[in-house]
Structure formats: C-alpha cells, structure tokens
Amino acid sequence: MFELIKQSSASKARRGELKTTHGTLQTPFFMTIATKGAVKALDVNDLKRNRVPIILSNTYHLLVRPGLDAMRRRGGLHKFMGWGGPMLTDSGGYQVFSLGKMRKITEEGVTFKSHIDGAVVELSPEQSIEMQQAIGSDIMMQMDVVLAPDVPRIIARDAMEQSIRWAKRCKDYLNSHRDHSMTKDQKLFGIVQGGIHEDLRKRSVDGLVELDMDGYAIGGLSVGENPEDNLRVAAYTASLMPSEKVRYFMGGGKPEEIVAYVKMGIDMFDCVIPTRHARHGSLFVWGGKVTPALLNEDDFYSKIIIQNAEFEDLDEPVDANCDCTLCTNYTKAYIHHLFDMKEPLAERLATEHNVRFYMKLMETLREGVEQDVI
C-alpha cells in the first residue's frame, strides 16, 4: 500500500506513494475537507483544476444525513458526488467529542443526540465501519475515544486503552464483512491516542502495531493543546511509528505546522483552515517566489483580510506567485468588492485560492524532499 521513495538528508522528511483503489497518492499530501460530501463553495471540477489529490468526508455527518441506507442506494459517496479520486473518512470520533453533554461513551460505543433533530443515535465501532463501507472511502479511520487535553492522566490512559480495543473490533468487523464495501480493498488506519503523555503514546503505538493496521494516525493533538506540546508529542509519536507504513497527523493545520510535521517524517494532513478562513476573507499569500528553500524561512507566507479598506482600490492580483483562478483573472479590489456585496462568488474564489495555496505547499514540500532541502 505504501512505498517509501526518498528519505531527505536534511531532516526526517520523506517522499512516498500511497496506493488506493481510486488512485496513487504522492506523499506528503493534504486532504481537503468535504465533511458532508462537498467542499464548501467548490465542486469536483474546481478540485481537479487545483490538483486536489484526495478529499476527507465525515462518517458522523453522513450517518445523520442522508444516512446509511441512502448511501448504499446511491452506490457510495464517490458516485453520489461525482468524485473519482481517493477519499478518506473520519470515523466521527471528533464530532462526537464536540457534542459534549449530548453524548455518552461506554465500552460498547457512543450514544448521542443528532444535531439535526435531537434523535438518539447509537454508534459502535462495528457500525462505524459499516457506515464507512457504505460510503466507500478508500481509507477508513477506526472509531476512537477523543478527549480534551486537560483530562487527568488516568482518564487519558483508559481512553487510549479503549481506543485500542475499538481498533481491534473495527478490524475484526472489516475482515469478516469485506464483501459489504462499496469500494474494494478499503484500508483501515489506527489512531494513536494518549494525550500529552509520552508513555501513553508509546503504549498506544505498540497496541496498534500489534494489530497491523494499514496506516497510523496521530490523534488528539488538535483539540486544544498548546503548540509546544503538539510539536513535542507529534515528534515523539512519529519516531515510534513503523517506517514502512504511512503516518497521518489528524487536524494539523497551519502551513508552518505542516512544514514542521513533514520534517518529522509525517506524510498526511487535513484541516478546515484553508476553506474556513476563505469564507471569512482570510487569504494566504506567499512570501516570495515559491521554492523549497522559501519554506525554511519563518515568513514564507502571510495572511490578508481582503475585506479591509486598504484593498478597496488595489488593482493587482491577490498573490503574483499563485496560479489559481482568482490570482490569474481578478484583482484585490474586485474580490474586496465581492465580499463587500456578499456575492457567493467571493467565497468560491477565495476558497479556491486557499485550497490551491495548500496544494502548492505540498507540491513544494515534495520537491524539497527530492532536493534534500526540506
């Protein structure tokens, strides 16, 4: 499934290929968020034009609506949304965590109230896999227990152990129900938990490696931890992961964080930042000509708030170093005007720009590994 192609001599960064049913992915890569089966403001042609290699959708939201049966009737999410490329589905653990008092966690699974109509929904590790099979994602994530970063160590330990048990249940169910999948040869990743405690992280890695998962994700580091803890725990955890398997940092994040994580030897990333920021007029701008060496600079990018008055009369591209639709066809003054008038086109162009920025970031990181610059 994963083949290591190049190890950088400048850091622990690496280049590889991840083979999936719907295509081969060049690592490291970033997954654009399509939570409910769509990237907000973009269609699949926009994604293809901006060289988006893989999208991420969410099991929780698709379970609530349109639901398991509807997804099966439509032949899976690839057919439903017209996307022919690879897809990863999150199990929904983070979304259930975010429900707070609206959810209850037991050994069997989680019970929660739908954010749509308040209906009580039960989700077990087995049901999570069943739903992900109906969605037909190329990569499924195990169901895990996500906790706040400040919980007592004993609670973090118990949640980590429960996540290992749930990983086994997920894998056992998948292995006994392979013929139920909308996509052949679906892969299942384990999620390393343990909070900010290194010994718990090691125990989690050991437990998941014993199960021989198809890949390993670093979870629980995008729910409120401080940046220093994130970097420390991520570096330690990545060092424990098998080199022959792909490594995924869940929910990270900012461009400078992704560069740091790639240098730790992490291969996969996702975050809502590029699309969410775009909808609020926050646009990423390169700090110069885009080369691998630029990414080693502290100021390799900046952000502008395009609604600010300073852009009202600027007849120049948002970023002369960007090749997206916005930057090659329109001006700062025009996109400022679109946001000012609340035109839907504003969100579309801004989202495409930020997504293209992230794709160019990953392309340049891969180039940097090849050149031993990153």
Catalytic annotation, residues? 90, 270
| CB-neighbour burial class of residue 150 (10 A; exposed 0-12, middle 13-18, buried 19+) | exposed
263 neighbors 238 (Cβ within 8 angstroms): no
Return the residue matching tokens 């009202």. Answer: 312
Ordered alpha helix ranges (H), 6-76: 44-49, 59-64, 68-73
Q: Facing residues of 147 across strands? A: none
- 319's CB contacts (< 8 A; 6+ apart) are 283, 284, 285, 286, 327, 353, 357
- Please tell me whether the peptide bond between 227 and the residue prior to it is cis, using omega within 30 degrees of 0: no
* CA-derived radius of gyration, the chain: 20
Tokens of 270: 């996702």
| CB-neighbour burial class of residue 22 (10 A; exposed 0-12, middle 13-18, buried 19+) | middle
Sheet containing strand 14-20, strands side by side = 2-7, 14-20, 23-27
114 neighbors 167 (Cβ within 8 angstroms): no
Nearest to 267 by CA among 252, 256, 254: 252
Determine the residue type at 212: D
Tokens of 204: 């989690």
Tokens of 213: 């998962």
- Output the DSSP codes for 184-252: TT-EEEEEE--TT-HHHHHHHHHHHHHTT-SEEEE-SSSSS--HHHHHHHHHHHHHHS-TTSEEEETT-
Phi, psi of 50 (to 5 degrees): -95, 15
DSSP 50: T
